[in-house]
Amino acid sequence: AQQEALIASLNEQKLELDFEELGVDMIVVDEAHKFKNIPFATKHRNVVGITPTKVTKKKKKPKKEEPPKEGEEPSEAKKKASAETEAAVSANRSFDLHMKTRWINEKYGGGIILASGTPITNSVAEVFNIGRYLNPQSLRDKGVHTFDAWAAAFGNITQTPEFAPEGGGYRMVRKFKEFVNIPELRSIVREVVDVISVDDVDIKVPEILHGKPQAIIVPQNPMVQALGQEMLMRAQNIRGGGIQTQPRNPDKTDIMVVVVSDGRNG
């Protein structure tokens, strides 16, 4: 009877523990750039350098598909799905760590260590997210704890020409191009970031031949030129609202992602 009562008591107890109940008072993360994509809200849309991500619900695992045969390229749909899945996983992983670091910061006033050789790689938003991990209170005190406030204080969004992805010319894009108020931004970053340069660790790096990079210009052959013209015409048709099929998949509608991929693979 006592054993049955003990078993019943154990069954009634909660077997899972919340993060707050584990007694964690410090988080140390190596390769922290894998957690850089914390989702954030912003009014900015279609701005190069600002790439907000979204947290997504877990989905059921899709049916296992046959891998591409040797020498066969994955389909564009599979490439796109793979990229979207990777972005979603990164956002969810970053959001999870952000929730934990927020709790640690609020309870202990610190105790977060991030280590990375590439803390900033693709987007200026990564600088903002470093502050959200390591020094959220400082961002709040300075009134830059939202991304739009931070971007208005430390960045300029300008119209700038950019080489069109399909080739054949340039296009105007909105880009988070440069930082402003750099002394103030550096002061905020230096509150929590310790930067180690090549000079600090005394690594001997070989000198570049002739003292600077050399541009090697290779003339286009007629086949590449013809492919470029094809990509340009397809892109212009898509931007103009025209509907056409893909040259290599006549049963599918042409889209810009496929045009760029065809040009890259050509």
Identify the pLDDT of residue 130.
Answer: 92
Q: What is the pLDDT along the chain (266 residues), one digit of tens a residue?
A: 667 777 777 666 666 778 998 999 999 999 999 998 898 888 888 888 787 766 665 555 545 555 556 655 555 555 555 555 777 888 899 999 999 999 999 999 999 999 998 888 777 788 899 999 999 999 999 999 999 999 999 988 888 887 776 666 677 888 887 889 999 999 999 999 888 877 888 888 888 888 899 999 988 888 888 888 888 888 888 877 877 888 877 788 888 888 878 777 76
Each residue's pLDDT tens digit, 68-124: 566 555 555 555 555 557 778 888 999 999 999 999 999 999 999 999 988 887 777
Would you say 37 and 90 are in contact if contact means Cβ atoms under 8 Å apart?
A: yes
Show the tokens assigned to 115.
């280590």
pLDDT for 71 equals 56
Other beta carbons less than 10 A from residue 227's beta carbon: 17
Question: What are the residues whose beta carbons fall under 8 Å from the beta carbon of 127, sequence distance 6 or more?
Answer: 120, 185, 189
pLDDT in tens, 134-146: 999 999 999 999 9
User: What's the pLDDT at 53?
Assistant: 67
**What pLDDT shows up at residue 141?**
95
Domain boundaries, the chain: 20-60+80-153+180-198, 219-266
